[in-house]
A and B are shown apart, each in its own frame.
Chain A
């Protein structure tokens, strides 16, 4: 079936199997910054932003994206360079496989209005990181929120 949606700010029409998951569809468009991790909506490596909210693209049927405003890390990086800078300056990463998901989740944090450290932690709990122990990721998100 054909679906229309906005992808990284561009109107997009795709002919897709509506049962395909959004993760495979965006990666098939060479947007490989969105990563496959657990595949069951737990780890957050595949996080994309849909109408301003974080979504695990590995369990999101692509048909549900019709008429939505969808952003992947590639679009977020262009739209919110200051957020990328926060993660780079604070070194909110080591292996980097969870980093795009962390950053997309952070980009969508305004949807919940988290403002203090405890709220940020609760909000970011859906994005696992096995390397860093989370401290530099938290610093990056706090830095981003302080700047904005």
Chain B
């Protein structure tokens, strides 16, 4: 029995304080003049009119930045706080205004006059790697943290590979049936409803307080310390509530700019992005073009595969946080299957589009769309069957995946049959075609739960848990309370969980990668153990954890899409999405279910609606009017079937769930469309026009 969320009342009454709600004494407001062009030299920046506006405290360009610090990033430092001699995308910040109000700052920013000299535009990843393509960055290998070399080719952000291309090609030559198709997905945005916001408050003694829509406070502290040569101990990232994240709130956002501006004006500086700016200036999902070759023998067993992904990383690589500066989800494309010879290459390139970063299961929605569509096509074309080919090739217990890892258990076949066994409840409209499609997704749970936590005695027998993580909505703080409640046997109202600022706890890896529940459960379990052994005169216990999970483990999901298509127009109606999910113990059933439902709706949006409409270097989806997210009337019936009894990890025996539901949806729907119509759609989002023409011509558009 789960008790209600720890933050429910504050959020329902409007009392919860988000970054945009924070007010400091003497606070000033910033706004940015952004590039109108995707690729241009800056010939002149005229700030003379803007700086004379009443209420404007200063107008700043890259030349004014304190200490000459300009480049920042999460791993590769290639993102300028303010553009120097050139702009590389529509929306690049060129100059910043600080004023006494947001309205004055925005009005003054509009009056900054920039003279550009347009440069050739690299609009797609394909164009970026053509011989002689314009260089987005002259020498990207010289950036701090870069993983590229000149030998890799032009406009490369990173290349990650696994396996042997030669061995995979040889295996495919011996195959009885082969599929060789290319799948395309668009640029996407996390679509959190809270636009990014920041307040930086720098003091003459070198200390800095930052409130930021950021889920990785310790990493943000380290980035700001590095960029501005500050003592990390004097950089304090303050607690805040996050209005949605989905990967997008891991970036430093505007903290580097606001910090620079606060140093320059000597006052707290606040900047809240308009949503149109957020769509222009953050770090969504990479557009992808993935060629998939898969081969089976005469018995339907996979013999080999080649998976080549070309991803549009946009104008900067700096928003990808991992060491490879790549996306794990691409390389892990075949993780659910036995593929004796599997070669994967994930190539991310620079273009003049918006920079891309991490969005809910980075790389996986694109990879799952391509892999699960190709496998489905191979099953249908070879006569083996779309279900049968999965049953034949999903890993069994004890099997190694293509990356050489044997998980504690493999329950792919079980989630597949569980999804297929859910009864159909929705009828297609009269005269429409009906179809069903299946897709599988699996995810490793090898995340290291690096975090820290403190339990402290409060008044009247209260236990106060101090945590380093902000609440992004997934319910991490409620998990902490639930564990303390059950571990110490005290009532929920005797437990307070609060985020503290960065100097008050040693470390945390940040919210993400579905690692929170695991990291938190390890830390809380250790803390509870110490608490029980604590001498009566001791006031607190503090723990830091950094051990890995116990045993290589993974979790599976299978989604079954039931769709109807109007044969006259191609209009698609997704009637139902069944999610069969591999679980162990569940700490908080309601929060767990919302991760599945919310993930499925996000997968549905990716499959049929969402698109940043990046064309010719110009993003055309500049508001939520054009960038459509699913509303409550858009979505299909959602059905969940839990495959219980799994072997999880950590002291609570859990499997992460936050990224299991949003990845297979695109392929499940495309596979269902072929089942209904015979037409194969290889490009997301699936549009009625594409289905119409594919039905007419028998090919994908």
A interface residues, Cβ below 8 angstroms from B: 31-40, 42-43, 45, 72-74, 77, 84, 87-89, 91-100, 103, 121-122, 124-138
Contacts and interface: CB of A to CB of B under 8 A. Distances in A.
A96 B473 contact: yes
A39 B625 CA distance: 10
Given A96-B7, A122-B633, A33 B14 contact: yes
B305 interface: no
A126 B624 CA distance: 12
A16 B625 CA distance: 29
A97 B243 contact: yes
B191 A130 contact: yes
B492 to A, nearest CB: 13
Interface string B586-626: 00001101101111111000000000000000000001110
Contact of B635 (A37, A96, A97, A134): A134
Contact of B194 (A37, A100, A121): A37
B12 interface: yes
Given A42-B624, A84-B13, A125-B631, A130 B598 contact: yes
B12 A126 contact: no
Nearest to B590: A91
Nearest to A77: B13
Contacts of A98: 193
Given A36-B20, A38-B623, A96 B11 contact: yes
Contact of A125 (B8, B13, B473, B632): B632
Interface of B: 4-5, 7-18, 20-21, 190-195, 241-246, 272, 274-276, 471-475, 590-591, 593-594, 596-602, 623-625, 629, 631-635, 638
A37 B14 contact: no
Q: Is the interface of B mostly helix, strand, loop or mixed?
A: loop
B4 A91 contact: yes
Nearest to A100: B14
Given A39-B623, A91-B590, A96-B16, 6 more contacts: A37-B275, A42-B623, A45-B193, A91-B591, A125-B634, A133-B596
Contacts of B474: 94
Do most interface residues of chain A lie in helix, strand or loop, or is the interface mixed? loop
A132 B594 contact: yes
Contacts of B625: 38, 40, 42
Nearest to A17: B103
Contacts of B599: 133
A32 B9 contact: no
22 contacts: A32-B14, A35-B18, A36-B195, A42-B625, A43-B275, A88-B4, A88-B5, A91-B590, A92-B12, A93-B5, A94-B594, A95-B471, A96-B243, A97-B18, A98-B193, A125-B631, A127-B632, A130-B190, A132-B598, A133-B594, A134-B601, A135-B597
B14 A130 contact: no
A72 B14 contact: yes
Contacts of B244: 95, 97, 130-131
A131 B598 contact: yes
A133 B601 CA distance: 6
Given A126-B631, A131-B594, A32 B7 contact: no
Contact of B15 (A33, A92, A121, A133): A33
Contacts of A73: 13-14
A50 B624 CA distance: 23
A91 B5 contact: yes
Contacts of A74: 13-14
A89 B632 CA distance: 20
A138 B241 CA distance: 24
A132 to B, nearest CB: 5
Contacts of A124: 631-633
Contacts of A88: 4-5, 8-9, 12
Closest 7 CB pairs of A and B: A33-B14, A133-B597, A95-B473, A97-B243, A96-B11, A94-B473, A73-B14
A95 to B, nearest CB: 3
Contacts of A35: 18, 20, 193-194, 243
Nearest to A38: B624
A40 to B, nearest CB: 5
A33 B274 CA distance: 18
Given A88-B9, A100-B14, A130 B475 contact: no
